[in-house]
A = this chain, B = another copy of it.
């Protein structure tokens, strides 16, 4: 195989109570990337469609990851990368992670998979950390492992793949304002009360138990964030009304996707997901803010090989 075309999925990180550690993978939202072997050594970004991003691999997220992988080997050939960028950078659904993980996923395929998913996350962290000025794998992990993932630790890197119930659907509403990950991080508190921390970890523990036991009600009751959401939601216009609308339409829970501005809801069943998306759509059309909504199953596979 000399060339591969892949679907690079969008992902939802934090997931309410799991700031910096939890994430899940979307199915119908993502970039398309083509990576081809070249007789020329090195990594080249040959084309980017969709958004104005740098072609120089040393300052391009996909390029930085690819270079990290490439330099760990001693190859007498190189790779050309084409990106059809469909996930808007700064949307909060893992745009940088899709690029950072996509290039290394594709190269690993072309090399006949010398690296494990965890090793690919390590390379992808180089690109992701350039984007966010912080090493976090909560988008990379679900993109590369699929499904729901928990980043147990970064040093050493350990990622756990969690089960989840069949009928779980996600709704994403993306108000197209820009919040930079670095800015969304600077609004976070450096310290939290022990009391709030206990609430947060009991919710995260409960969510993981709910995912294991397919307890939709418990999943909903656990999707509560007393630490990050109260602060970051201030950066998102209409946040509270979008959330209460989703819940009133039957969403199990609603919170900020990654560092925002996208908002995710988890729902039991596609019908509820459609009702939530439709009600949120109504609110957004009445606002001045351009937006997109997505409905997606959880994507248990992660990256997909298209050809």
Could you tell me which A residues sit within 8 Å of B by CB distance? 17-22, 150-153, 158, 160, 162, 188-194, 197-206, 208-209, 212, 218, 221-222, 227
Best-surrounded residue of A162, A189, A202, A208 (most CB of chain B within 10 A): A202
Could you tell me the distance between the alpha carbons of A209 and B189 in the complex, rounded to whole angstroms?
A: 28
Contact A218 B160 (CB under 8 A): yes
Contact B194 A227 (CB under 8 A): yes
Measured CB to CB, the nearest residue on chain B to A200 is B201
A206–B208 Cα distance when bound, in Å, is 9
| In-complex Cβ contact of A205 among B197, B198, B208 (8 A) | B208
Among A18, A22, A158, A194: residue with most chain B CB under 10 A:
A194
A190-B193, A190-B194 given; A209·B18 CB < 8 A: no
| Assembly CA distance A201 to B138 (angstroms) | 14
Distance (whole angstroms) from the CB of A84 to the closest CB of chain B: 34
What residue of chain B has the Cβ atom nearest to residue A197's Cβ? B197
A190 to B197, CA, bound (A): 10
Q: Judge whether B158 and A205 touch: CB under 8 Å.
A: no
B residues less than 8 Å from A212 (CB atoms): 208-209, 212
What are 21 contact pairs spanning A and B, CB under 8 A? A18-B205, A19-B201, A21-B198, A21-B202, A22-B205, A150-B202, A150-B205, A150-B206, A152-B205, A152-B222, A188-B194, A189-B194, A191-B192, A192-B193, A192-B194, A194-B227, A200-B201, A201-B201, A201-B204, A204-B205, A212-B212
Closest residue on chain B to residue A224 by CB atoms:
B153
Q: How many copies does the complex hold?
A: 2
The interface residues of chain B lying within 8 Å CB-to-CB of A200 are 197, 201
Q: Which residue of the partner chain B has the closest CB to A212?
A: B212
Nearest CB in chain B: distance from A208 CB, A: 5
B206 touches A160 (CB 8 A): yes
Name which residue of chain B comes closest to A199, CB basis: B153
Inter-chain contacts of A218 with B (CB < 8 A): 152, 160
Point out the residue from B18, B162, B190, B191 that lies within 8 Å of A201, measured CB to CB.
B18
Give the Cβ gap from A14 to chain B, nearest Cβ, in Å.
Answer: 11
CB distance from A160 to the nearest CB of B (A): 5
Q: Is the CB of A158 within 8 A of B221?
A: yes
In this complex, which of A21, A152, A188, A203 has the most chain B Cβ atoms within 10 angstroms of its Cβ?
Answer: A152
Given A160-B209, A212-B212, also A153-B194 (CB < 8 A): no
Contact status of A19 and B198, CB under 8 A, knowing A152-B221, A191-B192, A192-B192? yes
Closest partner residue, chain B, to A202 (CB atom): B21
Q: In the complex, A200→B202 CA distance in Å?
A: 11
Contact B202 A151 (CB under 8 A): yes
Complex Cα spacing A153 to B207, Å:
13
Residues of B near A197 (CB, < 8 A) are 192, 197, 200-201, 227
Q: Hey, which chain B residues are within 8 Å of A221, CB to CB? A: 152, 158
Closest to A198 in B: B20
Which residues does chain B contribute within 8 Å of A203, judged by CB atoms?
152
